Amino acid sequence: MAQLRLYNSLTNRKEDFSPIENDHVKVYTCGPTVYNFAHIGNARPPLVSDILVRLLKQLYKEVTYVSNITDIDDKIIATSIEQKVPIAELTKKYENVYNQNLKDLGVAKPDHQPRATDHIQEMIVQIKELVDNGHAYISEGHVLFSVKTFPKYGQLSGRDKDQQLHGSRVEVASYKNDPADFILWKPSTSEQPGWDSPWGFGRPGWHLECSAMSQKTLGVPFDIHSGGQDLIFPHHENELAQSCGAHGEIEDINHYAKYWLHNGMIKFDGDKMSKSLGNIVYINDLLKKYNGEVLRLVLLSTHYRQPLNWSKKSILQSQKMLDKMYRTLYQIDGEVSKEAVSPPKEIIKALCDDLNTPEAIGKLNILFNDFQHAKGKQKNELLSQIMSGASLLGLLNQKPENWLGYQNEMDSKDLKEVEKLIMDRDKYRLEKNYKMSDQIRDELTALGIEIEDSPQGTKWRKT
């Protein structure tokens, strides 16, 4: 079996992966703050984890995957007031939409999806440990982490002390001893949500939530912590400092998680997606227009560490590729079994190279080409490999006739004939053999079929 190699943000290099516990790999990915629809950028971290977990399951006996829900946060409180909706109702609604969106993208649900509000006691325990160990102090009803007590602070993000402060407000809150210190617990008013604690009625800081929930569900250290590059600083840097500090392990930077994976951001026609530019693309809206599998393929077509440019063109390309694959599958008689054989070695090998999904998709395309030229037994073997490889990538999950939208319209024998002609015509057009492609068009017209060539490929209907 191929050796899995992953780019570790903690060491800034690709490393051989070896699990802490033999044959049981533990993965944690920061989940969403649920107060609005998730945008397409929010889909990338869980999709990267989905591919990672699918691959790990091929390589190891047991995998536990955890991704949280942040259901207490200042943005949630503000939205609840603004929309006059109780917090629990607001967060439950968007948690459900998020999970349904990911399901439509073919992302499997985590083994555990802890909610922050169910882990307040664990957070209080961790803050107490930090205070006892001298890493946290109490000031004006707040509890703060004292960054200077953790000398390795900055190692994950590679920021020095000045850069750590970059972007923070010029005016430093009066309760902070040092501008770099961050909140572990803050006071709530009687109108705000809160919990009783040794430091008064209040609520946790965001960074602390992940430290408490990952420890509760996976134990520390665990193997892989992942999330978007935008979380490296300060969120992940702070998680790391808190978890090491709470356990008195400030010298061991691997005490919390051994490998840190970070995905690149999504750009929108070259621009950053942002509220101010008004170019935010919500998954929910995209799913009204496109099949989730098309969106999944767009996201997998760029390596996870690279920025991904979201464009209409990339959606159409993915649509076209899947249409072609489904059209090929449609020609096959009988049910196609999905996981009869192990996934092709070349696809596993590509994914083992730091989750190189573009390479893996390329290999899948090659198998499809080979399939079209193969005969007899070899054809069957290639088909099993294709289906198993596609299943590993979470693609080709639908019935070809459903994908192509051809149920109940025509007799299936006639449908296959039409599909065959369209595929032949596509081939001739690609070869610029217009004489043959026109001849096929005439044949189709004679059969009462009208065709239309679009950027997504050829569409047809019975006249």
The residue range among 23-31, 141-149, 173-181, 358-366 that interacts with Zn ion, by the rule CB under 5 A, is 23-31
Give the CA radius of gyration of the chain.
Answer: 26
Phi, psi of 116 (to 5 degrees): -55, -45
Give the binding-site size for Zn ion (rule: CB under 5 A): 2
Task: Give the full edge-to-edge strand order of the sheet including 222-228.
Answer: 62-67, 24-29, 222-228, 257-263
Q: Would you say 210 or 360 has its CB closer to Zn ion?
A: 210
Bridge partners (DSSP) listed for residue 187: 202
The residue range among 29-37, 94-102, 298-306, 419-427 that interacts with Zn ion, by the rule CB under 5 A, is 29-37
Alpha carbon distances (Å) from 68 to 33, 46, 56: 9, 11, 20
Handedness of CA 384, 421, 323, 269 (dihedral sign): positive
Handedness of CA 327, 331, 337, 339 (dihedral sign): negative
Rounded CA gap, 105 and 265, in Å?
Answer: 18
Window 392-431: contact mask with Zn ion (x via CB under 5 A): ----------------------------------------
Q: Would you say 217 or 437 has its CB closer to Zn ion?
A: 217
Q: Would you say 211 or 318 has its CB closer to Zn ion?
A: 211
Tokens (6 digits) for 187 = 């006071």
Q: Would you say 220 or 395 has its CB closer to Zn ion?
A: 220
Tokens (6 digits) for 416 = 């296959």
Place of tokens 């993965």: 27
In angstroms, give the least distance from the CB of 235 to Zn ion: 6
The residue range among 206-214, 301-309, 351-359, 435-443 that interacts with Zn ion, by the rule CB under 5 A, is 206-214
Q: Would you say 30 or 120 has its CB closer to Zn ion?
A: 30
Q: Which residue in the set 27, 51, 53, 210 belongs to the binding site for Zn ion (CB under 5 A)? A: 210
In angstroms, give the least distance from the CB of 219 to Zn ion: 17
Neighbours of 318 (CB within 10 A): 24
Rounded CA gap, 230 and 46, in Å?
Answer: 15
Handedness of CA 308, 313, 318, 319 (dihedral sign): positive
The residue range among 26-34, 150-158, 343-351, 434-442 that interacts with Zn ion, by the rule CB under 5 A, is 26-34
In angstroms, give the least distance from the CB of 155 to Zn ion: 17
In angstroms, give the least distance from the CB of 20 to Zn ion: 20
Q: Would you say 67 or 328 has its CB closer to Zn ion?
A: 67
Q: Where are the alpha helices (H) located in 105-147, listed in sequence order? A: 120-132
- The reply on whether position 30 binds Zn ion by CB under 5 A is yes
Amino acid symbol at 349:
K
Q: Would you say 30 or 422 has its CB closer to Zn ion?
A: 30
The residue range among 8-16, 27-35, 313-321, 421-429 that interacts with Zn ion, by the rule CB under 5 A, is 27-35
In angstroms, give the least distance from the CB of 87 to Zn ion: 20
Neighbours of 56 (CB within 10 A): 23
Phi, psi of 458 (to 5 degrees): -90, 130
Window 165-204: contact mask with Zn ion (x via CB under 5 A): ----------------------------------------
Q: Would you say 116 or 147 has its CB closer to Zn ion?
A: 116
Q: Would you say 246 or 440 has its CB closer to Zn ion?
A: 246
Tokens (6 digits) for 296 = 């999944």
167 Cβ contact list (under 8 Å, min separation 6): none
The residue range among 24-32, 93-101, 364-372, 410-418 that interacts with Zn ion, by the rule CB under 5 A, is 24-32
Alpha carbon distances (Å) from 65 to 4, 109, 288, 463: 17, 9, 29, 51
The residue range among 30-38, 103-111, 321-329, 370-378 that interacts with Zn ion, by the rule CB under 5 A, is 30-38
Which chain residues interact with Zn ion by CB under 5 A? 30, 210
